[in-house]
């Protein structure tokens, strides 16, 4: 038995060697894991820093045209001071290459934004001018139709306009459909001034003569009656 079994010192030596080896392996795993974690942390920091830098550069796109042009002007002045050696020159690539590039980028973005704003202003002004011309054209066409319709007006319609001209009165109250002025209302020679949410009596609906029609009435005053035999208001129907 003695010859077959190792001595106590040899067994202890083997046990210590095994423990040392296990410790070394464990440390190597820890170091490897720590290195991987460190690399991961570095990558995360770089990615975070890069995203912050990207978002910082993208924020400049939200600046107005005047802010971008002002920034470009300031960078240009700074570059001029470096070229004239008023400020100490720098050999840094960020100054040598980055500064001119920043001037060009901010100037280009500022000019593009300014051109876009000018285009919007010009488009809005042209649209407004075109709408005004179209409105004037519609008014002139409506006035022409009114003048052409005067010879075909009924006696009641001539009395209505004659009464309003004689009394310098552009508005009146009548039945809901305008009474004898119903045909004039249908042709938009008379307009309704009734408003939603207001209540009116059966004979108290407000009407008026549009301004552009009133000017034509004054020019053609002699074509409308100025004397009235009946004292009743001419726009009310006889049954009222």
Q: How far apart are CA 107 and CA 75, in angstroms?
A: 10
Cα angle vertex 203, ends 197, 204, to 5°? Answer: 45
Q: How far apart are CA 36 and CA 100, in angstroms?
A: 40
**Least confident span in 35-39, 72-76, 139-143, 155-159:** 35-39
Backbone φ and ψ for 174, nearest 5 degrees, come out as -150, -170
Residue 11 has pLDDT above 70, yes or no: no
Q: How far apart are CA 96 and CA 100, in angstroms?
A: 7
Q: How far apart are CA 236 and CA 180, in angstroms?
A: 6
What average pLDDT score do residues 9-25 get? 45
Helices (H), ranges, 150-210? 155-166, 182-186
Q: How far apart are CA 100 and CA 165, in angstroms?
A: 75
pLDDT cut 70: percent of the chain above it: 71
Q: What is the pLDDT of residues 58-111, one digit of tens each?
A: 666 677 777 878 888 888 888 888 888 888 888 888 778 888 888 888 888 888
For position 128, what pLDDT does the model report?
Answer: 95
């Amino acid at each position: 038995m003695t010859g077959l079994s190792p001595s106590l010192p040899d067994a202890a030596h083997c046990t210590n060697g095994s423990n040392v080896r296990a410790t070394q392996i464990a440390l190597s795993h820890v170091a490897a894991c720590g290195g991987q974690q460190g690399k991961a942390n570095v990558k995360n920091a770089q990615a975070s820093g890069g995203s912050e830098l990207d978002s910082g550069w993208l924020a400049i796109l939200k600046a107005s045209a005047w802010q971008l042009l002002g920034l470009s002007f300031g960078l240009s002045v700074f570059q001029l001071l470096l070229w004239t050696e008023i400020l100490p020159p720098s050999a840094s690539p960020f100054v040598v290459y980055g500064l001119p590039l920043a001037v060009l980028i901010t100037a280009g973005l500022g000019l593009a934004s300014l051109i876009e704003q000018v285009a919007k202003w010009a488009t809005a002004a042209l649209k407004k001018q075109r709408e005004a011309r179209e409105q004037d054209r519609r008014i002139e066409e409506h006035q022409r139709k009114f003048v052409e319709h005067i010879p075909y007006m009924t006696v009641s319609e001539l009395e209505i306009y004659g009464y309003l001209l004689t009394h310098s009165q552009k508005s009146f109250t009548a039945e809901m459909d305008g009474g004898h002025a119903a045909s004039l209302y249908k042709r938009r020679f008379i307009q309704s001034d009734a408003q939603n949410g207001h209540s009116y009596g059966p004979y108290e609906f407000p009407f008026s003569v549009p301004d552009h029609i009133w000017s034509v009435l004054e020019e053609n005053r002699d074509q409308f009656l100025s004397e009235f035999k009946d004292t009743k208001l001419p726009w009310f129907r006889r049954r009222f």
